[in-house]
Structure 1
Amino acid sequence: MEKRLTTTAMLFSVGFVFMLICTVGAFFYGIQIGTEKTEAKYEKKDESTKMAAASVSPYQQQDLVSFYHTVFLPYREFQNEWFAAMNKLSQGNTSDATSMFKDLANLAASKAKDASSIDMQKSPLLGKSQVGYIRSLKLFNEAADKAATSAKTLSFNELKKNVEKEKTYQSASQFALSAQQAYYSAMLKWSSTVDLDIPEDYKSPAILELKHWKTLAITTKNKLIADQLMTRKQLTSYYPQDLTSRVDEFVLSGQAAKMKMHTLSAVVDLLINTEAVRNGDFTESKSRLYQKALLPQLPFFYPETN
């Protein structure tokens, strides 16, 4: 009887030791599995973080603002002086056209250097726009030099016509319009990252109906107007958003319907041909038409904050 108990006790002890070994083994195996899963989780998270960082949009608001101050503004300052000079010519309101165009040539060269002071190539559209504005300013420099020479022999009216027909000036205008188009396309891409309902790009159909135009976001409208100005080779003293606001006012007022106009191109042609757009039209209508519109914080959209 005593022997059987000893055997039982021995079997019990062996079983207990075996269970203990299994338990300890399972414990350490669980630790290993848990560690591997945790490491895999954080590796995956780290990869996701890296991918997210790599996919950050190159069209952030700070990029648009930097571009505005370092590239667009130098060009715009020159453009304002150029239009002021051409206006003086048309009015015969200058005593020395040669000196005026020499000053413009120097200003264009100076602003071209300013526009080159930052590298915007990480944002393809902003990089394209920067190159366009720099090339435009360099060509304006050449056009102004040629105009200064022509001013010695031509009357004011003849000089203005001569400048506007000259190939260097026309090329300068085209590069400026192309640069403008790229800048407003970049704004559209930015808005699409803030509001996913806005497409990152929008190419107008051959005929864009006004009923469809009314449904578009303002960044899309501005991009389309930049396209319209590019197509028409219209270098203007006003911004694309000024023309956008005039189109919207024309449509919302019912004037387009009264004149039986149904397409964007028809309204744009009318407004441009009748010189019905002015610099500042957007600012005047902003509180009425675009109070809640999504726009980047750029000075020409929010002049009241300057």
Structure 2
Amino acid sequence: MEKKLTTTAMLFSVGFVFLLICTVGAFFYGIQIGTEKTKARYVNEADDAKTTTASATPYQQQDLVSFYHTVFLPYREFQNEWFAAMNKLSQGKSFEATSMFKDLARLASTKADEASSIDMQKSPLLGEAQVSYIRSLKLFNEAAVNAAASAKKLSFNELMKNVEQDKTYLSAAQFALNAQQQYYSAMLKWSATVDLDIPSEYKAPALLELSAWKNFNITIKNKVMADQLMTRKKLTAYYPHDLTSRVDELVQSGQATKLKLHSVSAVVDLLINTEAVRSGDFNESKSRLYQQALLPQLPFFYPETN
């Protein structure tokens, strides 16, 4: 009888231990599965957050405004002075050309320092535009120094030609056009975060028909005009959006049809070759053509009025 009880107790003990082992194993297995699922969920949420941040945050309106005041405006102030100097030369007013270009060289250096005062690298396109504008100003500094030296021995006609053909000047202009294109591309990315129907990127086909142009949002049109100016290596006193407004006026007035122009490039060629675009054209036609347009709150879109 005692032997039977001992066997029963032994079997009971073995069964209990086995059940305990299974229970503990199941418990830790459940913890492992739960931990892996939690990790996976947080990884997915982190990836989604990174994607959202990458697509939206870098191109907030405040970034565009900060860039305007700290990078674009210093460059623009220099560019206005440069064009004023070139205008004097074209009119034969070459007196004191040496000192004029020396002043431009100093101004370019000062404005390059101003444009370097902020870090725009968190917004890739704005960061690239900043670097391009700074390089442009430094090259303009060199071009002005070269022009100041040449002014002592060349007539105003020769000096004008010499400046326009100077490799340093041409490089400076190209960097400025690159920066302009990058800035307007950043505006397009911003508009895509505000209106989901607007693409964040757009590259026009080789032949962009006016029928397609008519349906574009204003920020797409402006970006296309920045592209057109860069392709033509045309550094201008007017903005890409001034060119946009002139294209729209020609199209909406029916003049493009009368002239048998069917592509955007053909219209742009006509406007540029006839010097039919001026700084301020956009703001003059804004109330008629772009009253409801989606635009960032930048001073050159919303100038102060007295």
Deviations 1:150-178 (A, max 9, x none): 00011111101110001000000000000
CA distance in 2, matches of 1:245, 1:176: 22
Q: Scaled by the length of structure 1, what TM-score is found?
A: 0.84
Deviations 1:7-59 (A, max 9, x none): xxxxxxxxxxxxxxxxxxxxxxxxxxxxx9xxx8xx96x95795587444200
Alignment partner of 1:257 is 2:257: yes
* Percent identity over paired residues: 76
* Equivalent in the alignment of 1:287: 287
CA distance in 1, matches of 2:165, 2:184: 27
CA distance in 2, matches of 1:85, 1:225: 26
The structure-2 alpha-carbon separation of the partners of 1:77 and 1:230, relative to structure 1 and needing over 3 Å to count, comes to same
Alignment partner of 1:59 is 2:59: yes
CA distance in 1, matches of 2:295, 2:239: 14
8 Å contact 1:299–1:305 — kept in the other structure? no
8 Å contact 2:93–2:156 — kept in the other structure? no
Alignment partner of 1:162 is 2:162: yes
Structure 2 residues without counterparts, runs of 5 or longer? 1-33
Deviations 1:154-205 (A, max 9, x none): 1111101110001000000000000000000000000000001100000000
Structure 2 residue identity aligned to 1:232: R
Structure 1 ranges of 4+ moved more than 3 A: 46-56
The structure-2 alpha-carbon separation of the partners of 1:121 and 1:152, relative to structure 1 and needing over 3 Å to count, comes to same
Alignment partner of 1:185 is 2:150: no
* Equivalent in the alignment of 2:141: 141
CA distance in 1, matches of 2:45, 2:256: 54
For 1:104-253, what aligned pairs fall within 5 Å after superposition? 104-253=104-253
1:305 Cα deviation (Å)? 6.5
Q: Scaled by the length of structure 2, what TM-score is found?
A: 0.84
1:249 Cα deviation (Å)? 0.1
The structure-2 alpha-carbon separation of the partners of 1:148 and 1:263, relative to structure 1 and needing over 3 Å to count, comes to same
After TM superposition, the structure 1 stretch with the greater mean CA deviation from structure 2, 273-282 or 56-65, is: 56-65
Deviations 1:212-247 (A, max 9, x none): 001000100000000000000000000000000000
8 Å contact 2:98–2:152 — kept in the other structure? yes
